[in-house]
Copies of this chain bind each other. A is one copy, B any other.
Amino acid sequence: MTNFKNTLNTRTKPIPFLDLKLINQDYEKLINETLSRKVSSGWFILGEEVKTFENSFAEYCETKHCIGVANGLDALVLLLKASDFPKGSEVIVPSNTYIASILAISLAGLTPVLVEPDLNTYLLDPAKIEEKITPNTKAILVVHLYGKCCDMEPISRIAQKNNLKIFEDAAQSHGAEYQTKKAGNLSDGAGFSFYPTKNLGAMGDAGAITTNDDNLAGKIRALRNYGSGEKYIFEEQGINSRLDEMQAAILNVKLPNLDKENKIRQAIAKRYLTEIRNTSLVLPFAETVEEDAWHLFVVRTKDRSRFREYLMHNKIGSDIHYPVPPHKQAAYKELNNDSYPISEKIHQEILSLPLNTTLSEEEVSYIIEKINLYK
């Protein structure tokens, strides 16, 4: 092992993991114009911008409905609440996910049942679902993590056989496809996040639900608005979770470019996949490169902290998604003693490389070159 700290790095401009200032730069003028129109419009709650976005995003996902909500976590909570499962019902969810997928189940008064991922895809392993199904299981919440859709065919078969609903956590997979259908249109209903760092990112919190189920859609529309469908009439005990008009206006500016931006992500992912050659790294699953939305490019390596330091020394930013698995968090004390070895291995070894629409060819080449020199 060479000590990379003794080598001199002469690059002057560091490559940050993600710089939203840069990413939004091309949109600034249009966004300022649309926000200033919104400011002077005098209408700020569930107005035209939200309606327009709901229609456009439903069209984009090819679903019947899209309901704008305040954020991605709320989207999942509302999907589950609107499903009216008996209190304490079990919902299958991957053990390798951002904790919000699991929180949504708990916040809806249901019980999360964790299932290990496939080490090749990092996604819910269909082969491990059935052993976790009990008479109380009501649904499977799949998570299209890192921008890649889960293997829905076997999962749908299991759901059908066991009379379970399927929901998608599509927070990281705007525009990802599975057998020509888009994420958000692969189940009974999907929750999206438009957190600023997402493939389709707002400039604050924002989220949406897509579904083809009229009943579910109607119920969620009321539930996001204190439980009220009609002014001052409250059919249900709802929450306040409305997509912000300003954020919707920003999303309306950005949505038309989502496919183009995902293509840029794919092109970078393809270069990483073909040009990175380093036996100390495990690269992500490559077979579906054209279908994935490449929210994150996640590699695995035994000595992650050393690799990360090496990148840092070479002025390359990176991030960990995520360092501590949900079942090891204090928020889930009841799961702390359970063992999910694949998920634990993933959390220990993964590192996300820079992958976003502002990376230049030169930067990508530099990153590849440096990674290939890592020993």
Interface residues of A (CB under 8 A from B): 19-25, 28, 31-32, 35-36, 38-45, 70-74, 99-100, 103, 106-107, 195-196, 202-205, 226-227, 232-242, 244-247, 320, 322-324, 326, 329-332
- Which B residues lie within 8 Å of A240 (CB)? 70-74, 100, 205
B-chain residues with CB within 8 Å of residue A233 when the two chains form the complex: 324, 329-330
**Given contact pairs A44-B202, A103-B226, A204-B245, a sample of 12 additional A-B residue pairs in the complex whose CB atoms are under 8 Å apart:** A24-B42, A35-B35, A44-B203, A44-B204, A70-B70, A73-B239, A73-B240, A103-B237, A107-B237, A205-B240, A227-B331, A235-B330
For the complex of A and B, 9 pairs with smallest distance between CB atoms? A21-B42, A234-B331, A73-B240, A204-B244, A234-B329, A20-B42, A71-B240, A44-B196, A44-B203
| Nearest B residue (CB) for A324 | B232
The answer for the CA separation of A204 and B20 in the assembled complex, in Å, is: 23
Q: Is the CB of A245 within 8 A of B203?
A: yes
Decide: B39 and A19 in contact? CB cutoff 8 A: no
What are 24 A-B pairs with beta-carbon distances under 8 A? A32-B36, A32-B39, A35-B246, A38-B203, A45-B195, A45-B205, A70-B240, A73-B239, A74-B240, A103-B226, A103-B239, A106-B237, A107-B237, A203-B246, A227-B331, A232-B324, A233-B324, A233-B329, A234-B330, A235-B331, A236-B331, A237-B332, A244-B247, A246-B247
A78 CB to closest chain B CB, in angstroms?
Answer: 12
Please, which residues of chain B bring their CB within 8 A of the CB of A44? 20, 196, 202-204
In the complex, residue of chain B having the shortest beta-carbon distance to the beta carbon of A99: B234
**Whole-angstrom CA separation of A331 from B22 in the bound complex:** 47
Query: Across the interface, do A238 and B35 meet the contact criterion of CB distance under 8 Å?
Result: no
Minimum CB–CB distance from A193 to chain B (whole Å) comes to 9
Give A23 to B44 CA distance when docked, in angstroms. 13
Q: Which of A21, A23, A237 has the most CB of B within 10 A?
A: A237
